[in-house]
Amino acid sequence: MAKNESKNENKVKKHFFKDFKAELKKVIWPTPKQLVNNTVAVVTIVLITAIIVFVLDVAFDLGNKYGITQLQNIVDEKFNSEEETENTNDAEHNTSTTEDSAQS
């Protein structure tokens, strides 16, 4: 039985390679001119895409650096100044309350 299996396996392999060769003969291979044109088109599209991504990256980075970060600083300054004002008012209120308690 081992011999029958190996014979079938050899037939399958031969059949596969025969079909493979027949399919490769059916392929329409590009001419050298078509190959160059297609390669140039692919490289051009890749470069254009890379440039677009680079420009968007720089634009978003600058937007983040000068737009959002500046707004964040302005908000932080305003929020911190309001907190300082509240803390100063609270301190004055606590001092006056302590003085009123001491006088009583």
Half-sphere exposure of 23 (CA within 13 A, CB side): 6
Helices assigned H by DSSP within 1-104: 2-26, 32-62, 69-103
DSSP 8-state secondary structure symbol assigned to residue 28: -
Could you read off the pLDDT of 12-40 as tens digits, one per residue?
778 889 999 999 999 999 999 999 999 99
What is the per-residue pLDDT for 50? 98
What is the per-residue pLDDT for 72? 85
Rounded to an integer, the average pLDDT of 62-69 is: 85
What is the per-residue pLDDT for 1? 52
Could you read off the pLDDT of 85-97 as tens digits, one per residue?
776 766 666 665 5
Q: Whose structure tokens read 């031969």? A: 14
Q: Would you state the structure tokens that stand for residue 69, as one six-digit string?
A: 């970060």
Residue pair 38/30 in contact (Cβ under 8 Å)? The answer is yes
Q: What is the pTM (predicted TM-score) of this model?
A: 0.50
In the three-class reduction of DSSP (H, G, I as helix; E, B as strand; rest coil), residue 31 is classed as: coil
% of the chain residues with pLDDT over 90: 43
What is the per-residue pLDDT for 41? 98
